[in-house]
């Protein structure tokens, strides 16, 4: 039989689908793709009908066929994401949904309102996944302020022996005034044995950025970001926070292409003298001079001269 015959079967199936006769629709769609296996619309229709019949495994296979034949079909990719999410194929579901949103960015709200897809587009959940892929498994501790929570993860012996990496979980929920800005998590390197001090610093900076709507652009400063915390003499020796690209971890950024994209920004405390130096020479030269002097910004015992 020809494509024309398959087209006719698909039209019949579409009408049955619109009247919610899903079993009959599925049978027609199945006949269409049997007589003309390259009928992408027939495979997509079959996937939709099977989903409504509670057969997500069969639906996923049908959508895979449709997407293989027509990779630029946003509706087929959407159906494939739904079916694979239903059967627990998270990686495939995320891939299909990401491709859907590249083609139809406005569908993000629909995804956020769909029970099976919402976890795949929730930035903080995606951030948690990519951070654990980047750093491996680790425990977290929760810090709370005003009914909100930021979790801080701790990874030993990173980015180099003798140091620990501290990273936020939850700042990626924050949105910024410019919609194109990526979502962000923060990372801090420290040689301090007191994990609570580092977690407290990082969580406080994250809360401040979210409250102020201040995007942590590399090369910018949060004045008095440490002194306000009253974490002993560290608050006065290194009272401010500097933000930069996290080069020490050698990670490819963004961590997740999105949408929305998710990236990582390093923060580290600096002294009053270093703050004045930043004012005088700008961020690019400031970072260069730190490197030229051999300053280890993960050494929170340093004098800050």
Output the average pLDDT for the chain: 91
pLDDT digits (tens, 9 = 90+) for 158-213: 998 989 999 999 999 888 887 778 999 999 999 876 668 899 999 999 999 999 99
Helices and strands per DSSP (H, E), number in the chain: 13, 7
Decide if pLDDT at 1 tops 70: no
Decide if pLDDT at 85 tops 80: yes
Q: What is the pLDDT confidence band of residue 304, given thresholds at 50, 70 and 90?
A: low
Domains and CATH numbers, the chain: 3-119 (1.25.40.10), 124-292 (no CATH)
- Quote the pLDDT of residue 16: 96
Q: Which residues contact 180 (CB under 8 A, 6 or more apart)?
A: none
pLDDT digits (tens, 9 = 90+) for 290-301: 999 999 999 888
Decide if pLDDT at 259 tops 80: no
Angle between helices 90-103 and 74-86 (to 10 degrees): 160
| Greatest mean pLDDT range, 22-26, 101-105, 142-146, 147-151 | 22-26
- Quote the pLDDT of residue 193: 66
- Quote the pLDDT of residue 232: 81
Angstrom distance (rounded) from CA 36 to CA 69: 12
Which residues lie across from 265 on neighbouring strands? 186
What are 215's two structure tokens? 């995007």
Q: Which helix (H) or strand (E) holds 95?
A: helix 90-103
Q: What is the pLDDT confidence band of residue 34, given thresholds at 50, 70 and 90?
A: very high
Decide if pLDDT at 242 tops 60: yes
Q: Which residues contact 148 (CB under 8 A, 6 or more apart)?
A: 170, 207, 210
What percent of the chain has pLDDT above 70?
98
Angstrom distance (rounded) from CA 109 to CA 175: 15
Decide if pLDDT at 261 tops 80: yes
- Quote the pLDDT of residue 194: 65
Q: Are strands 221-222 and 183-190 parallel, antiparallel or unpaired?
A: unpaired
Q: Which helix (H) or strand (E) holds 149?
A: strand 148-156
Neighbours of 189 (CB within 10 A): 24
Decide if pLDDT at 256 tops 90: no
Q: Residue 204: which of 144, 275, 272 has the closest Cα?
A: 144
pLDDT digits (tens, 9 = 90+) for 73-82: 999 999 999 9
């Amino acid at each position: 039989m020809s494509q024309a015959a398959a087209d006719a079967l698909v039209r019949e199936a579409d009408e049955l689908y619109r009247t919610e006769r899903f079993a009959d629709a599925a049978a027609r769609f199945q006949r269409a793709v049997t007589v003309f296996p390259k009928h992408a619309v027939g495979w997509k229709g079959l996937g939709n009908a099977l989903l409504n019949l509670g057969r997500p495994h069969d639906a996923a296979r049908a959508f895979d066929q449709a997407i293989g034949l027509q990779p630029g079909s946003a509706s087929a990719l959407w159906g494939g994401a739904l079916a694979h999410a239903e059967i627990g194929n998270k990686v495939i579901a995320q891939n299909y949904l990401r491709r859907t949103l590249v083609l139809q960015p406005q569908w993000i709200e629909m995804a956020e309102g769909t029970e099976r897809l919402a976890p795949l587009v929730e930035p903080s959940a995606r951030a948690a996944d990519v951070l654990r892929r980047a750093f491996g498994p680790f425990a977290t501790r929760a810090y709370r302020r005003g009914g909100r929570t930021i979790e801080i993860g701790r990874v030993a012996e990173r980015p180099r022996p003798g140091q620990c990496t501290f990273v936020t979980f939850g700042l990626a929920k924050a949105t910024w005034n410019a919609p194109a800005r990526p979502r962000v998590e923060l990372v801090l390197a420290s040689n301090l044995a007191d994990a609570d001090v580092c977690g407290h610093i990082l969580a406080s900076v994250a809360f401040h950025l979210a409250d102020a709507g201040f995007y942590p652009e590399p090369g910018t400063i949060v004045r008095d970001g440490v002194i306000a915390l009253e974490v002993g003499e560290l608050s006065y020796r290194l009272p401010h926070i500097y933000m930069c690209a996290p080069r020490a971890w050698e990670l490819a950024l963004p961590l997740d292409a999105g949408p929305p994209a998710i990236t990582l920004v390093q923060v580290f405390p600096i002294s009053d003298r270093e703050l004045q130096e930043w004012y005088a020479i700008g961020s690019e030269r400031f970072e260069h001079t730190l490197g030229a002097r051999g300053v280890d910004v993960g050494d929170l015992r340093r004098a800050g001269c």
